[in-house]
């Protein structure tokens, strides 16, 4: 009989007790990613003041994590196939825990940003392994139960993470201010490592025939780093030769990346997908919508703390209506609305998002920085519903015309694009916010909202090019 002290082989269907233990472990790993990608939305102003990091640190805290995650996510999945999911899960969990410790104890902005990059990189190694392990070990009934739990757990993590972060910072535990939001990962990570060693099935051989496109990943990494560094440095310290050159380098490396994808024997994205109009249009809509939504979420927290003088705890609670609307709408979308409405749900989601953004803009125009958080709540709820519907529907509908043998590459591509879009959006919208803040925080919020409204509106016509319906069977 299989016990919790002896890892099983991947060819053996595990006992019910062991399957539930593996599910808990995978959910904890995924929840850690969601929480750590959002906690700096609330913590950024406090961290910047404590470390004297200024605007530049605020702009980098979120994008550094999401950049590394987005670049390496597809690679992480293939490395698991090549060297074994258990091995990569342990490396990812161990590295993520160590990086969290470095982040929590960082004495200066540079080390903190390096730690955030490391968190994202090891998270990209960790996350793909859990789903792969479950599909190998779980029986069909257990797999259905597992998928049913992912939405609620990750949704609650997205809502609860920033709220808990706000309370932790305001409580100033042991005089550590923001540091416990990272240091708590040490405890969770060590527990996760112990569990993983004891319960995950051994698959150390893997499939050495799997090819990982390291060159493609490297070119993409330089592309994103060049673009983001140029944007953040230029908007913070002026458009000297350094940021302009950085952006040009990013553009050149993107061209090299595109060429690599056309010529490589095993590219990161299946070439036939790029000829699929429905997929590429969905990818474009995803890029724009996620960038705009993620950037707006970040500057809303800045506006509440810097403009409305809310504490970190107050700002985290002020964003709860938005995150609850996002979670509820996303859960409803995946629960049957996407299958019923197809791309119409993307139209609906983006339109509702525009209504919510317009409502918030009207409040800011009318009251400036004299708005109460409760006054913002209804508008933020509407915005959250729109973001939740569109974020959930876009990746699913875009796969409507994908062939079964393209589904893995398509799904992985969307996961990476979502992370990279979040990094771009956070950096761009935050830069716009700070550039406009010279005329006041209220003015900065108005400019940011107008930019998000325009960009989101421009993406709506592209939705008409997406597949009409979602896949009949989930890929």
Domain harbouring 172, CATH code: 1.20.1250.20
Output the CA torsion sign for 218, 223, 228, 229.
Answer: positive
Say whether both 25 and 99 belong to one domain.
yes
pLDDT of residue 8: 47
pLDDT of residue 475: 47
Say whether both 57 and 102 belong to one domain.
yes
Say whether both 321 and 302 belong to one domain.
yes
pLDDT of residue 407: 65
β-strand partners of 9: 202
Say whether both 20 and 69 belong to one domain.
yes
pLDDT of residue 239: 84
Say whether both 259 and 320 belong to one domain.
no
Residue 4 falls within a domain, yes or no?
Answer: no
Please state, in angstroms and as integers, the Cα–Cα distance from residue 368 to each residue in 117, 363, 440, 441, 446, following that order.
36, 7, 9, 8, 9
Say whether both 407 and 281 belong to one domain.
yes
Residue 5 falls within a domain, yes or no?
Answer: no
Say whether both 68 and 86 belong to one domain.
yes
Say whether both 233 and 284 belong to one domain.
no
pLDDT of residue 12: 45
Domain boundary (209, 236, 256) is at: 209
Residue 18 falls within a domain, yes or no?
Answer: yes
Q: Helical H runs in 310-401?
A: 312-318, 320-332, 338-341, 343-367, 373-398
Say whether both 204 and 349 belong to one domain.
no
Q: Helical H runs in 138-240?
A: 140-171, 180-199, 214-237
Say whether both 232 and 307 belong to one domain.
no
Say whether both 431 and 457 belong to one domain.
yes
Residue 1 falls within a domain, yes or no?
Answer: no
Residue 366 falls within a domain, yes or no?
Answer: yes
Q: What are phi and psi of 311, to 5 degrees?
A: -75, 165
At which residue do the structure tokens 């709820």 appear? Answer: 381
pLDDT of residue 267: 79
Range of the domain at 442: 271-475
Residue 55 falls within a domain, yes or no?
Answer: yes
Please state, in angstroms and as integers, the Cα–Cα distance from residue 79 to each residue in 98, 115, 124, 127, following that order.
20, 22, 10, 12
pLDDT of residue 283: 87
Say whether both 258 and 177 belong to one domain.
no
Residue 148 falls within a domain, yes or no?
Answer: yes
Q: Helical H runs in 368-406?
A: 373-398
What total of structural domains would you count in the chain? 3
Residues of the chain predicted below pLDDT 50: 1-14, 474-475
Q: Can you read off the two tokens belonging to residue 246? A: 């950085």
Q: On the CB side of 25, how many CA atoms lie within 13 Å of its CA?
A: 29
Q: What are phi and psi of 8, to 5 degrees?
A: -90, 170
pLDDT of residue 204: 64
Q: On the CB side of 201, how many CA atoms lie within 13 Å of its CA?
A: 26
């Amino acid at each position: 009989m299989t016990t919790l002290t002896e890892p099983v082989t991947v060819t053996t269907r595990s006992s019910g007790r062991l399957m539930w233990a593996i599910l808990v472990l995978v959910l904890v790993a995924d929840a850690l990613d969601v929480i750590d990608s959002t906690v700096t939305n609330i913590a950024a102003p406090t961290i910047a003041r404590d470390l004297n990091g200024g605007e530049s640190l605020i702009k980098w805290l979120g994008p550094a994590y999401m950049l590394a995650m987005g670049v390496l996510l597809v690679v992480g999945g293939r490395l698991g196939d090549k060297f074994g999911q258990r091995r990569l899960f342990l490396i990812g969990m161990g590295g993520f825990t160590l990086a969290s410790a470095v982040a929590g104890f960082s004495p200066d902005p540079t080390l903190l940003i390096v730690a955030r990059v490391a968190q994202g990189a090891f998270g990209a190694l960790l996350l793909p392994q859990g789903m792969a392990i479950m599909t190998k070990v779980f029986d069909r009934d257990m797999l259905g139960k597992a998928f049913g739990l992912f939405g609620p757990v990750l949704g609650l993590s997205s809502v609860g993470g920033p709220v808990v972060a706000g309370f932790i910072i305001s409580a100033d535990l042991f005089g550590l201010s923001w540091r416990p939001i990272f240091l708590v990962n040490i405890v969770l990570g060590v527990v996760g490592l112990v569990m993983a060693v004891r319960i995950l099935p051994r698959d150390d051989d893997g499939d050495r025939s799997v090819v990982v496109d390291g060159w493609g990943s490297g070119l993409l990494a330089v592309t994103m780093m060049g673009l983001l560094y140029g944007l953040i440095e230029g908007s913070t310290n002026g458009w000297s030769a350094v940021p302009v050159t950085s952006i040009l380098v990013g553009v050149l490396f993107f061209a090299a990346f595109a060429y690599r994808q056309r010529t490589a024997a095993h590219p990161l994205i299946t070439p036939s997908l790029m000829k699929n109009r429905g997929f590429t249009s969905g990818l474009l809509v995803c890029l724009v919508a996620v960038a705009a939504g993620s950037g707006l979420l970040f500057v809303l927290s800045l506006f509440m703390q810097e403009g409305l003088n809310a504490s970190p705890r107050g700002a985290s609670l002020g964003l709860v209506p938005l995150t609850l609307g996002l979670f509820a709408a996303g859960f409803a979308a995946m629960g049957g609305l996407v299958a019923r409405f197809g791309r119409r749900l993307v139209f609906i989601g983006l339109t509702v998002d525009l209504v919510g953004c317009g409502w918030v803009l009207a409040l800011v125009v009318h009251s400036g920085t004299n708005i109460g958080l409760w006054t913002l709540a209804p508008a933020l709820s509407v915005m959250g519903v729109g973001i939740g519907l569109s974020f959930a529907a876009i990746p699913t509908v875009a796969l409507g015309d994908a062939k079964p043998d393209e589904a893995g590459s398509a799904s992985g591509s969307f996961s990476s694009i979502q992370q990279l879009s979040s990094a771009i959006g956070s950096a761009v919208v935050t830069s716009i916010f700070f550039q406009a803040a010279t005329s006041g925080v209220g003015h900065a919020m108005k400019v940011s909202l107008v930019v998000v409204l325009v960009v989101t509106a421009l993406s709506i016509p592209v939705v008409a090019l997406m597949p009409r319906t979602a896949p009949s069977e989930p890929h």
